[in-house]
Amino acid sequence: MLENLGLDLDHRGNVKTIDYATSVSGVFAAGDMRRGQSLVVWAISEGREAARAVDQFLEGKESDLTSKDASVLRV
């Protein structure tokens, strides 16, 4: 599915994001898809932050989140 969407992946096969936005406009990723297998508390936290990013996207606003992964390029 990830290949069909054309999402950019990192060297470990995780989806690359900036403020939870992927390389495909309107597609967001969080939790294990973004950071790899981790603790459920991280997934919950990222899910909440991703929901905020989706809301801002739908309202046409710039993200006010600070990227936690500076190793990827802004899309």
Distance from C-alpha of 39 to C-alpha of 35, rounded to nearest angstrom: 10
Distance from C-alpha of 26 to C-alpha of 14, rounded to nearest angstrom: 18
Q: Is residue 74 part of a domain?
A: no
Residue 46 lies in domain = 2-58
- Note the pTM of the prediction, 2 decimals: 0.74
Query: What are 52's two structure tokens?
Result: 């905020």
Arithmetic mean of pLDDT, 40-46: 91
Q: Is residue 66 part of a domain?
A: no
Q: Is residue 34 part of a domain?
A: yes
Length of the chain as a residue count: 75
Q: Is residue 42 part of a domain?
A: yes
Q: Is residue 72 part of a domain?
A: no
Residue from 2, 12, 8, 63 nearest 35 by CA: 12
Domain count, the chain: 1
pLDDT at 50: 94
DSSP state string for 51-75 = HHHHHHHHTTPPP-PPPS-TTS---
Q: What is the pLDDT of residues 10-25, one digit of tens each?
A: 999 999 999 999 999 9
Q: Is residue 70 part of a domain?
A: no
